[in-house]
Amino acid sequence: MARTVIIEEHGGPEVLKIVDRPVGEPGPGQVRIAHKVCGLNFIDVYQRSGLYPLQMPAAMGMEAAGVIEAVGEGVTHLKVGDRAAYAAMPPGSYCEARVMPAAQVCPLPEGISFEQGAAMMLKGMTVEYLFHRTTPLKAGDTVLFHAAAGGVGLIACQWARSEGITLIGTAGTDDKCQLALDHGAAHCINYRDGDWVAKVRELTGGKGVDVVMDAVGADTFKGSLDSLKPLGMMISFGNASGPVAPFGLAELASRGSLKITRPTLFTHIAKHEDCQAMAKHLFDKVLSGDVTIRIDQRFPLDQVADAQRALEARQTTGSTVLEL
């Protein structure tokens, strides 16, 4: 049996429950992993609230790190006793142990702790696909990145610096802006201080940025389009402030033949070989020192509701983990 966080209906943090669930043995293509630390992400909130509906009852969580306890038939990249980490479907990482598909579970290098592993997989592989698999980016390009002091944002600031890309961040307080600057953002705008779009234009000499990476959603969408240079790319990859309202495609034309995409991590990691390659790229960035995984909040598993409340209220910086 393993303590597991579930929901039986969509709603606020109060619907999160901890129950004992049988774990069982892995079947073909599966592993059983005993978790050491679990990660917290905004997608967990979307699933709990019903923005991304789940079939009930549903186990929660998408990211964790631990030790492989058993390996099913056909699994060759992991063995019993291996340290491992993952960000993967289906949900269910908020638990002591689970049986799950092995394809997206990645061997965790010795130089990376379980805590770092649990805090970096979903966020770090998201940054990997944003910078390397969504639209061509090269040294000298300029990116606008919203929520630059969050878990994804701080990794993105460092990643951009390591690639010679100029990252303009936004955040909601001066302290958060300073955090983004300390982690490699070239500039950071406190969007509560006035017209952040005008400031982006000023910082780019009136041209606008090559790419916007926006996980905030409704509150920043129009301003993000207005921050792009002609032929620029809008990457909308999250909905922290709510989903983006429908809009006419002609708006892209009127702003200079803009491009737009709405990617997800789980499309990018669907193939085993792609997932493992993305994870290796991320691990190499961390092991080289180009990227440091900052963990600013730690909650015990039984305080998972408080952890999600803090995340929703934008009271967090860096990554948040759940300790077992």
CATH assignment at residue 109: 3.90.180.10
Specify if 209 maps to a domain.
Answer: yes
The closest alpha carbon to 278, from 297, 263, 295, belongs to 263
Mean pLDDT of 214-225: 94
Q: Which of 262, 280, 307 is the last residue of a domain?
A: 262
Do residue 141 and residue 62 come from a single domain? no
Q: Is pLDDT of 241 > 90?
A: no
Q: What is the pLDDT of residues 48-58, one digit of tens each?
A: 999 999 999 99
What is the per-residue pLDDT for 317?
87
Do residue 31 and residue 66 come from a single domain? yes
Contact 205, 168 (CB under 8 A): no
Mean pLDDT of 297-305: 97
Specify if 276 maps to a domain.
Answer: no
Q: What is the pLDDT of residues 135-187, one digit of tens each?
A: 999 999 999 999 999 999 999 999 999 999 999 999 999 999 999 999 999 99
Do residue 202 and residue 140 come from a single domain? yes
Q: Which of 243, 262, 281 is the last residue of a domain?
A: 262
Do residue 179 and residue 90 come from a single domain? no
Specify if 186 maps to a domain.
Answer: yes
Do residue 142 and residue 181 come from a single domain? yes
| Structural domain count of the chain | 2
Distance CA 295, CA 303 (A): 17
Do residue 7 and residue 89 come from a single domain? yes
Do residue 66 and residue 156 come from a single domain? no
Do residue 139 and residue 241 come from a single domain? yes
Specify if 62 maps to a domain.
Answer: yes
Do residue 19 and residue 70 come from a single domain? yes
Contact 64, 86 (CB under 8 A): yes
Specify if 130 maps to a domain.
Answer: no
Specify if 240 maps to a domain.
Answer: yes
From residue 244, how far is each of 5, 191, 208, 221, 241 by CA, in Å?
29, 18, 21, 7, 9
Q: Which of 262, 284, 302 is the last residue of a domain?
A: 262
Do residue 142 and residue 257 come from a single domain? yes
* CATH number, domain containing residue 214: 3.40.50.720
**CA distance from start to end of the chain:** 14
Domain range spanning residue 215?
A: 135-262
Q: Is pLDDT of 221 > 90?
A: yes
Largest CA distance in the chain: 60
Positive or negative torsion for Cα 254, 259, 264, 265: negative
% of the chain beyond a pLDDT of 90 = 95
Specify if 90 maps to a domain.
Answer: yes
Do residue 111 and residue 182 come from a single domain? no
Specify if 285 maps to a domain.
Answer: no
Do residue 152 and residue 231 come from a single domain? yes
